[in-house]
Amino acid sequence: MIKSGDSTIWTEIDFDRQGKQVGRLHLPYSVTRSAYGNIDIPLAVIANGAGPTILLMAGNHGDEYEGQVTMVRLIRDLEPADIQGRVIVMPAANLPAAMAGARVSPLDAGNLNRAFPGNGGGTPTWQIAHYIDTVLVPKCDAWLDLHSGGSSLHYLPFAAYYQTGEDAALDGQAEAIMRAFGAPRSVRVTAAPDDRLAAASGHRRKIPYLGGEYGGTGSVDLDGVSITRDGTLRVLAHLGVLTTTRFAVPPPVQTRLMELGGHDYYVLAPEAGLFEPATRLGDSVRRGQLCGTVHFIDNPERPGVPVHFRRDGLVVCKRHFGRVEPGDCVAHLATDV
């Protein structure tokens, strides 16, 4: 019997070997069409001498693409001579979701970013979370996990870290990494992370974790790809891992330091219908201002239901899909520090 503390995932990669290795994590997955099958999750390790180890990850959600593009490019571009230390690159962490172009895995409906710390005896998504949490993260001195809005949301790009509120040293490391990343907006999330998030796993392991949102709508945003590539390289340089000068990395732009707090930053649909937004990404709004209206196309004589913002702030996220169900996020704000 596989216990929750064990893992069946294996790899031919030797994490202690110098040089560049590109291989797979093999997650045994026995099904009718493949009795001894495996889910083969790409992984690269680039190592050169002593120095910090950095985990670079994308595809936590399968339909968030900017980070995935950046990670596969870095796997091809980075060579051992470019670094001092070790870089572990996971371009499609929840591979089944990434191949399906979906937020969650088609195999178990698993949302990887709600599966930490995982379960070595669970279904595939929870096994992946368990391996990341128990094998990869403990090797690392920092963790970059690149997100975007996926199919259902559209974001103004920003880098972000979750504040612990208890560990000033860890918070300081994470904020320094966020500033080095150099995104146009930098968000300090003051709401405590859900215990199932990758960020919470970073907190438990005392590893500075940087996330963020870099696009959305289920497309590949050119600005988001540029921000994630340049920001990742700047962080590697900041941490003393990237030592080469052969990459053209522009200096960071002047960032706008912001915060994201509790439930009042979010606007949720009250009923099922067609949502007509009243604001645009980047708009500054006031508490009580109209966010949009839910219309009832099958019942046109019924008046639309207005939805309002519950605080002042900047609209950094909007729903992409027009149709909504009760509880869908239609927008959320960030506020200036």
> Is pLDDT of 3 > 90?
no
pTM, to two decimals: 0.95
Count of helices and strands (H, E) across the chain: 6, 19
- Give the integer Cα–Cα distance in Å for 100 and 227: 25
Half-sphere exposure of 138 (CA within 13 A, CB side): 6
Express each pLDDT in 255-276 by its tens digit: 999 999 999 999 999 999 999 9
Q: Residue 199: left (phi > 0), alpha (psi -120 to 50), or beta?
A: alpha
Write down the pLDDT at residue 119: 96
* Cβ atoms within 10 Å, residue 323: 12
pLDDT at residue 5 in the model: 64
Crossing angle of helices 168-181 and 222-238, in 10° steps, is: 130
Domains within the chain, CATH numbers bracketed: 10-260 (3.40.630.10), 265-336 (2.40.50.100)
Q: Is the dihedral of CA 100, 101, 106, 111 positive or negative?
A: positive
Mean pLDDT, the chain, integer: 96
pLDDT mean over 311-323: 98
Average pLDDT over residues 149-154: 96
Q: What share of the chain is helix, strand, coil (3-state, %, to 5)?
A: 25, 30, 45
Q: In the structure, what pLDDT confidence band is assigned to residue 38 with cuts at 50, 70 and 90? A: very high
The average pLDDT across 244-249 equals: 90
Stretch among 107-116, 137-146, 241-250 having the lowest mean pLDDT: 241-250
pLDDT given for residue 1 in this prediction: 39
pLDDT in tens, 84-106: 999 999 999 999 999 999 999 99
Percent of the chain whose pLDDT exceeds 90? 94
The DSSP element (H or E) to which 71 belongs, if any, is helix 66-77
Handedness of CA 217, 126, 110, 108 (dihedral sign): positive
Contact (CB, 8 A) for 214 and 146? yes
pLDDT category of residue 131 using cuts at 50, 70 and 90? very high
**C-beta of residue 181 within 8 angstroms of C-beta of residue 146:** no
CB of 145 within 8 A of CB of 213? no
* Phi–psi pair at 91, nearest 5 degrees: -80, -20
